[in-house]
């Protein structure tokens, strides 16, 4: 598919969307502040209503095809002395986010904690400031990235896609993501960029750096007209956001390749179903993405070198088997195979058949299987 | 400094150097094979001499300013049944490396292990194949990167430097490393690229991704005409190699910024002095690089939010204090301060003074101190 989003009005629309999000967040923050100031001026104890983020309020939405919060709320009121501290913390985070957006700057969770300390805000530790940020996310219905609070970059991307930046200092500049074979780090600039021209027809998401490098070296991007994303383990949120955008805006089908072990299964599942801790957010999961392996049954089918489960693997597997997200195939089927064989294998294990095997043999076989279904 | 290495003869020289290394490795491998075949044909038990990689043979070379191996060797002879297994393992790695170089492909340590398994080579686990690779490195005097065995990419780079690739499929193509603000992943392609045009005058090496992003966002690259490298913790070898080349070929002074804790001290030290486990190799350390912080004394000087040492930190500190690499200042002085205060701080801790502080205040102060000396 050749996508030409580079028309002037298209481009303006993307900038408009980016600016609109910031504007909407700023408005919500301003309204929150005004409400509290009004309360105080009228001699009323300020209160905020927060969606309840407990298991009892996490439900699966079949339309959105992800876990979302139900309609239970908790009331945080300044009438209650015990509520004062977390109330003030959320308000401070709100004011910090407003400053960030206005200044066009970004921060990390850790930086935010230290800025709070510097301003004399009483956070016991980073866990407490992280929690206040999550509360603000749930209050506004915006992920922290929209508040300019980003995770550390770690994931990377490679392939036939030209992007145009929207971040200050780079707005309007373009870069071709096939121009650096070691990959482009996925940070705030890439996550918010506009897609200008895409020669790819599919997206392969890969857990391991070594396998990402193998896919580049064996030309998987050209053979399959594929973009390649390396998540470096559990995918950081900026990479999840980018994958979601590539899937939605460019209609690229997404295939996920992770190790055949309980952690690899979880990596694929979080990308597809979202995570319970992000149930208060949208647009961070990719419901249409397909778990493409490694399956437990691949260990048998391909006679892969494998390792015995550790105690931790076994424990993790039992947890997954009880999780509602894994009650359908291929999840259920493969978890049963794991239980039976009690062994795990890595993506690199295909190298037992030579370095070319994974791209030349395994990949076309798996894609044929998955598209047949 | 504006460096114009982009002349045709310069470029040819770089390709020549890259090709020359591969040629030299291939010759060494061929000689090794020929020697063994000759031995066998003449009814002599084949033997190889390996530099002894034990503490007793690791010495500091004041000329090279790094740890190197002394002149003790061990003899590995096929006369001894116990030697047969490791002997055969090194020979298999040699033949694998030769195939890699001839095919212009790269591999990782993990891939190499699996290829070995596939060919029925008896390695107990990856530790054993890793060890055989290190033995081959010491035998040839070449790092495994010269054998096309690369670590996983994880580090990234940003700044005013145009490079030209030498890897197959990209040879002759150029990319400007200031064109992607989230950073370019440092893998085999970047490590072996030629430097074409550099507007930077200094290189900042940064342990943390959040601080790398902060430096980019605050324009440290422009204010200080600096290239920025993010090592993501302990620097992978491809990043160390690239830093060394930037220091040697472009004469860029190198400043290292790591957390103020025993692990951060170690990260800086390995970049400068090399690591004991790589004492058999050259060109992976940067003797002229300067440890620029965070110092233990910065915790006091800047009143940084800090945390108590864990038991592990305290234990690690005692080890460092006994290590010959830390007997001079600033190491000795700062280790003493760590002992006294028993506390650690992160680079992000400067955010207590706002997000700009680290680049606007701390950085110029530290650079002024270090250049005064």
Each residue's pLDDT tens digit, B5-35: 445 565 567 777 778 888 999 999 999 999 9
How far B88 CA sits from the closest chain A CA (Å)? 18
Segment B161-172 shows an average pLDDT of: 91
How far B49 CA sits from the closest chain A CA (Å)? 30
Determine the pLDDT at residue B278.
77
Determine the pLDDT at residue A209.
87
Report the CATH fold assignment for B13-147: Arc Repressor Mutant, subunit A (1.10.10)
Determine the pLDDT at residue B11.
57
B152 vs A108, A165, A210: nearest CB: A210
Determine the pLDDT at residue B310.
93
Report the CATH fold assignment for B201-372: Dna Topoisomerase Vi A Subunit; Chain: A, domain 2 (3.40.1360)
Mean pLDDT of chain B: 90
B237-271, pLDDT tens digit by residue? 889 999 999 999 999 999 999 999 999 999 999 99
Percent of chain B whose predicted confidence (pLDDT) is above 70: 97
A223-244, pLDDT tens digit by residue? 999 999 999 888 888 899 999 9
Interface A–B counts its CB contacts (< 8 A) at 156
Q: Domain spans of chain B?
A: 13-147, 201-372
Half-sphere exposure (CA, 13 Å, Cβ side) for A334? Answer: 25
| B117 lies within 8 A of chain A by CB | yes
Least confidently predicted of A262-276, B29-43, B79-93: A262-276
Q: Is the pLDDT of residue A336 over 50?
A: yes
Point out the residues of B that are catalytic: 114
* Residues on chain A touching B305 (C-beta within 8 angstroms): 114, 117-118
Q: Is the pLDDT of residue A3 over 60?
A: no
Q: Is the pLDDT of residue A5 over 60?
A: no
Least confidently predicted of A126-130, B1-5, B128-132, B253-257: B1-5
Contact between B355 and A213 using a beta-carbon 8 Å cutoff: no
Q: In the structure, what pLDDT confidence band is assigned to residue A4 with cuts at 50, 70 and 90?
A: very low
ipTM (interface predicted TM):
0.83
Of B177 and B22, the structure prediction assigns the larger pLDDT to B177
Q: Is the pLDDT of residue A254 over 60?
A: yes
Helix/strand/coil (H/E/C) assignment for every residue in chain A: CCEECCCHHHHHHHHHHHHHHHHHHHHHHHHHHHHHHHHHHCCCCCEEEEECCCHHHEEEECCCCEEEECCCEEEEECCCHHHHHHHHHHHHHHHHHHHHHHHCCCECHHHHHHHHHHCCCCCCCHHHHHHHHHHHHHHHCCCHHHHCECCCCCCEEECCEEEECCCCCCCCCEEECCCCCCCEECCHHHHCCEEEEECCCEEEEECCHHHHHHHHHCCHHHHCCEEEEECCCCCCHHHHHHHHHHHHHHCCCEEEECCECHHHHHHHHHHHHCCHHHCCCCCCCCCCCEEEECCHHHHHHCCCCCEECCHHHHHHHHHHHHCHHHCCCCHHHHHHHHHHHCEEECHHHHHHHCCCHHHHHHHHHHHHHHHHC
| A223 lies within 8 A of chain B by CB | no
Q: Is the pLDDT of residue A19 over 90?
A: no
Determine the pLDDT at residue A279.
78
Determine the pLDDT at residue B6.
46
Q: In the structure, what pLDDT confidence band is assigned to residue A200 with cuts at 50, 70 and 90?
A: very high
Determine the pLDDT at residue B5.
45
| CATH 1.10.3720.10 correct for A3-147 | no
Determine the pLDDT at residue B9.
60
Q: Is the pLDDT of residue B52 over 80?
A: yes
A67-79, pLDDT tens digit by residue? 788 899 999 999 9
Q: In the structure, what pLDDT confidence band is assigned to residue B4 with cuts at 50, 70 and 90?
A: very low
Q: In the structure, what pLDDT confidence band is assigned to residue A35 with cuts at 50, 70 and 90?
A: very high
Interface of B with A in 156-195 (CB under 8 A): 156, 165, 167, 169-170, 173, 175, 179-190
Residues in chain B: 373
Least confidently predicted of A329-333, B135-139, B214-218, B272-276: B272-276
Q: Nearest chain B residue to A181 by CA: give it.
A: B189
Mean pLDDT of chain A: 90
Q: Nearest chain B residue to A154 by CA: give it.
A: B154
Q: In the structure, what pLDDT confidence band is assigned to residue B373 with cuts at 50, 70 and 90?
A: low
Determine the pLDDT at residue B39.
94
Q: Do domains B13-147 and B201-372 have the same CATH topology?
A: no
Determine the pLDDT at residue B12.
66
Segment B104-123 shows an average pLDDT of: 88
Contact between A117 and B217 using a beta-carbon 8 Å cutoff: no
């Amino acid at each position: 598919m050749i996508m030409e989003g580079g028309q002037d009005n298209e481009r303006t629309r993307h900038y408009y969307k980016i600016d609109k999000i910031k504007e909407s967040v700023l408005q919500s923050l301003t309204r929150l502040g005004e409400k509290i100031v009004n309360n105080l001026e009228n001699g009323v104890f300020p209160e905020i209503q927060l969606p309840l983020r407990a298991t009892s309020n996490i439900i699966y939405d079949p339309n959105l095809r992800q876990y979302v919060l139900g309609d239970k709320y908790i009331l945080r009121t300044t009438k209650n002395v015990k509520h004062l501290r977390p109330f003030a913390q959320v308000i401070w985070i709100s004011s910090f986010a407003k400053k960030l957006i206005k200044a066009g700057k970004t921060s990390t969770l850790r930086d935010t904690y230290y800025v709070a300390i510097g301003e004399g805000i009483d956070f016991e530790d980073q866990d407490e400031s992280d929690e206040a940020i999550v509360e603000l996310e749930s209050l506004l219905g915006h992920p922290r990235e929209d508040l300019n609070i980003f995770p550390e970059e770690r994931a990377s991307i490679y392939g036939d896609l030209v992007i145009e930046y929207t971040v200050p200092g780079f707005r309007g500049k373009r870069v071709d993501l096939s121009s650096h074979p070691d990959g482009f780090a996925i940070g705030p600039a890439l996550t918010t960029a506009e897609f200008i021209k895409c020669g790819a027809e599919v997206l392969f998401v890969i857990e391991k750096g070594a396998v990402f490098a193998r896919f580049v070296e064996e030309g998987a991007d050209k053979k399959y007209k594929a973009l390649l994303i390396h998540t470096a383990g559990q995918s950081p949120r900026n990479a999840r956001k980018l994958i979601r955008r590539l899937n939605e805006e460019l209609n690229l089908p997404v295939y996920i390749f992770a190790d055949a072990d309980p952690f690899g299964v979880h990596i694929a599942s979080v990308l597809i179903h979202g995570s319970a801790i992000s149930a208060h957010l949208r647009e961070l999961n990719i419901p249409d993405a397909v778990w493409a392996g490694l399956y437990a049954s691949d260990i048998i089918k391909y006679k892969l070198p494998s390792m015995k489960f550790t105690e931790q693997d076994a424990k993790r597997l039992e947890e997954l088997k009880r999780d509602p997200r894994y009650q359908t195939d291929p999840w259920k089927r493969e978890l049963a195979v794991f239980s039976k064989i009690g062994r795990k294998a890595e993506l690199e294990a295909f190298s037992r058949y030579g370095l070319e095997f994974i791209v030349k043999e395994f990949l076309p076989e798996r894609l044929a299987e998955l598209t047949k279904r």
